[in-house]
C-alpha cells in the first residue's frame, strides 16, 4: 500500500511547487507595492478610464438584445475565418472532399447570415 502512495509523490511535489510559485507571482507584487509606497489612491487614480466618462446608470442595467446578437454573429464569422485558414493550407491534401465540405459549411453560414439579416439582427438604431 505504501508503494502506491509513494508513486504519487512526484505529482504532489509538482503540484506543491506550482501552487507555491503561482502564489508567489500573485501575492508578492501586491506586497511589494504596499511596502514600497506605490499604493496611494487618489481621486484621479480611481476615476473611470475605460470609457472616458463617469457611469450614468446602475452597473446591472440591461443591454438591448441586439447587442448580444451582433456579438454572437461576430463570434460565428470570426470562427469561420479561423476555419478557413487551415482549410486553405490543407486543401491540396483534402482534395475534392475537403472542398465540398467547406462549400457546404460556407453555404450554411450564408444561410444563417441571410436569416439574421432578414430578421433585422444587423439593424442598429
Domain boundaries, the chain: 2-119
pLDDT tens track for 53-98? 666 666 677 767 777 777 888 888 888 888 888 888 888 898 999 8
SS3 state at 28: helix
CA 1 to chain centre: 44
How many other CB atoms sit within 10 Å of the CB of residue 34?
10
pLDDT at 55: 62
Predicted TM-score (pTM) of the model is 0.46
Q: Which residue has the higher pLDDT, 22 or 55?
A: 22
User: What pLDDT shows up at residue 104?
Assistant: 93
- Residue 112's CB is within 10 A of a number of other CB atoms, namely 14
Report, at the CATH architecture level, how domain 2-119 is classified. Up-down Bundle (1.20)
What is residue 50's predicted lDDT score, i.e. its pLDDT? 61
C-alpha cell at 112: 444563417
Amino acid at each position: 500500500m505504501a508503494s502506491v502512495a509513494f508513486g504519487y509523490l512526484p505529482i504532489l511535489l509538482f503540484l506543491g511547487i506550482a501552487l507555491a510559485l503561482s502564489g508567489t507571482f500573485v501575492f508578492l507584487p501586491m506586497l511589494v507595492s504596499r511596502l514600497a509606497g506605490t499604493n496611494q489612491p487618489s481621486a484621479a487614480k480611481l476615476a473611470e478610464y475605460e470609457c472616458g466618462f463617469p457611469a450614468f446608470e446602475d452597473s446591472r442595467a440591461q443591454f438591448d438584445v441586439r447587442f448580444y446578437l451582433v456579438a454572437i454573429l461576430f463570434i460565428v464569422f470570426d470562427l469561420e475565418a479561423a476555419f478557413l485558414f487551415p482549410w486553405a493550407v490543407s486543401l491540396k491534401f483534402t482534395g475534392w472532399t475537403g472542398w465540398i465540405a467547406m462549400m457546404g459549411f460556407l453555404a450554411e453560414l450564408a444561410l444563417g447570415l441571410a436569416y439574421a439579416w432578414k430578421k433585422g439582427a444587423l439593424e442598429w438604431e
